[in-house]
Amino acid sequence: MSDKKARVSLAGSQDVIELPVLEGTIGPDVIDVRSLVSKGVFTYDPGFMSTASTESSITYIDGDAGVLLHRGYPIDQLADHSDYLETCYLLLKGELPDAANKQAFTDEIKRHTMVDAQIAQLLNGFQRNAHPMAVLISLTGALAALYHDSLDVDDAEHRHLAAIRLIAKMPTLAAMIYKHSIGQPVMSPINSLTYAENFLHMMFGVPAEGPNVSSVLAKAVDVIFLLHADHEQNASTSTVRLAGSTGANPYACISSGIAALWGPAHGGANEAVLKMLNEIGDESRIEEFIAKAKDKDDPFRLMGFGHRVYKNFDPRSKVMRKICDEVLADLGVENDPLFRIARRLEKIALEDQYFIERKLYPNVDFYSGIILKAIGIPTSMFTVIFALGRTPGWISHWNEMLSGPYKIGRPRQLYRGSPKRDYPV
Ligand code: CMC
């Protein structure tokens, strides 16, 4: 702890409250306000704009500089040299694995890719047009009903098993949900395939044919998973931590994270990008939509642009943009009208003073939406892909919290309702 102190005095009181100032490895200092409650006051910070909800050593973001580090490693280096499962290991365990540990981790994941047949029965109870996120929330939570012998959150072995099961089964669940929605038989995982190949095989393969997965698309999907793997204390991760702080089981916690991710201000934005591109419909209408986005009297915003934390190019977007070019070229769809609109939109927004002045860069959802669409993944599945990729981040944060001393998350409030009054009799 540093010797720095912050001093607070309340108007009308002689008392000065001295608060410790905590220093992170990098990043801004943090004033420790925990002792304030004993002085009879709370702090007020809706939206956590100025409040660190926890200490963490998993991920660091500097939004002004456009920096994202996992366990200290820059995201672009991980995207270039690592792969999704290795990044999962890094997030969970804190260090990159050596070759033997990497193989052992991959093998362990592969041993858990299948899901119990009763989960398929539960899936069959859903209407085919159910939103995939609604189904994913349900199936993930239902896993707890199968593993009640290993739900002791104070047992590190049980927590490890839950992490492996969740990372291993997410692609299987996601693909099952898609197959159910289109009325095709559910595909079993093939463990000789890589994690991303297996996902694409279960999504697009059919039992009558063997696996036939493009290596370019598998690489793109692996990088998409990797780029979504963690993002510090975002809304869904904070939801997982809050649920976990009650001692709830891991499947319930991850299910609550998936629910929080579904919102359009969070993971639902990639779906919104594609809806917007379809609405624009033709290059001739781009200027009209740019004008709408700039108009203060119009609530319309350019979906896939801007970020709460990144006021610089999101480092994930830079990688995603490159992958986007490769995928469109590999599939020969660069001239597809929808993708031409996306390219023009990107160019105009990057050159337009309105977007430059407000630091509104294309975000990760802009490019991921385009890539997923090009691969043939339906729009309603986009946020499911985000959830799949984010699973190791959620589990790492949940595990980090449970591995140390923690308290139930219980925010206070500023009460502005009626004072005490008597019931009229
Ligand atoms: N299109 C047009 N104008 C925008 C946009 C946009 N996409 N985003 C922000 N602005 C303007 C906004 O009107 C305001 O202008 P002014 O200063 O003249 O009033 C200024 O930029 C600052 O906006 P803000 O609302 O204060 O910024 P924020 O940090 O609160 O919002 C955001 C961040 C991501 C919610 C917002 O940029 C947005 O709505 N973007 C579109 C939706 C989107 O793509 N969301 C995905 C975010 S990344 C996913 C994730 O991490 O989960």
Q: Within 13 Å of residue 248, how many CA atoms lie on the same side as its CB?
A: 21
* Cα–Cα distance, 407 to 93 (Å, whole number): 22
DSSP for residue 422: P
**Phi then psi for 152, rounded to 5 degrees?**
-80, 105
CB contact set of 110 (below 8 Å; sequence gap of 6+):
168, 191
- Distance between Cα 379 and ligand 1 center (Å): 22
DSSP state of 35: G
The answer to whether 365 is a known catalytic residue is yes
Amino acid at 234: N
Cα–Cα distance, 176 to 143 (Å, whole number): 14
Distance, C-alpha 258 to centroid of its chain: 9
pLDDT tens across 149-199, in order? 999 999 999 999 999 999 999 999 999 999 999 999 999 999 999 999 999
Residues near 210 by Cβ (< 8 Å), separated by ≥ 6? none
For ligand 1, the distance from its centroid to the CA atom of residue 307, given in whole angstroms, is: 6
What is the whole-number distance in angstroms between the Cα of residue 206 and the centre of ligand 1?
A: 41
DSSP 417: S
Q: Write out the two tokens for 28.
A: 């801004």
Among protein residues, the one with the nearest Cα to ligand 1's atom 42 is 303
Model pLDDT for residues 328-377, shown as the tens digit of each residue: 999 998 888 888 899 899 999 889 999 999 999 999 889 898 899 999 99
Give the closest residue (by CA) to ligand 1 atom 20: 358
Which of 201, 231, 266, 397 is the catalytic position? 266
Residue 78: CB atoms within 10 Å: 24
Distance of CA 262 from the midpoint of ligand 1 (Å): 18
Strands laid side by side in the 16-22 sheet: 5-9, 16-22, 30-31
Question: What span, in angstroms and rounded, lies between the C-alpha atoms of 359 and 353?
Answer: 10
List of the chain residues with pLDDT < 70: 1
List residues near ligand 1 (CB under 6 A). Answer: 265-267, 269, 293, 301-308, 358, 360, 363, 365
DSSP for 225-273, written as a single string: HHHHS--SS-HHHHHHHHHHTTT--HHHHHHHHHHHHTSTTTTTHHHHH
Instruction: Assess whether 228 carries a catalytic annotation.
Output: no
Note the pLDDT of residue 239. 98
Catalytic residue among 228, 231, 307, 397: 307
Cα 140 from Cα 150, distance rounded (Å): 15
Q: What are phi and psi of 368, to 5 degrees?
A: -65, -40
Residue 1: per-residue pLDDT: 58
Minimum-distance ligand 1 atom for the alpha carbon of 305: 7
Q: Which value, to the nearest 10 degrees, does the dihedral of the CA atoms of residues 314, 50, 298, 356 take? A: -40
Contact 59, 231 (CB under 8 A): yes
Q: Please report the pLDDT score of residue 139 as a whole number.
A: 98
* Nearest alpha-carbon partner for 316 in 83, 60, 90, 74: 74
Separation between Cα atoms, residue 334 and residue 327, nearest integer Å: 9
Asked whether 280 and 311 are in contact (CB, 8 A), the reply is: no
Tokens coding 321: 């943009």
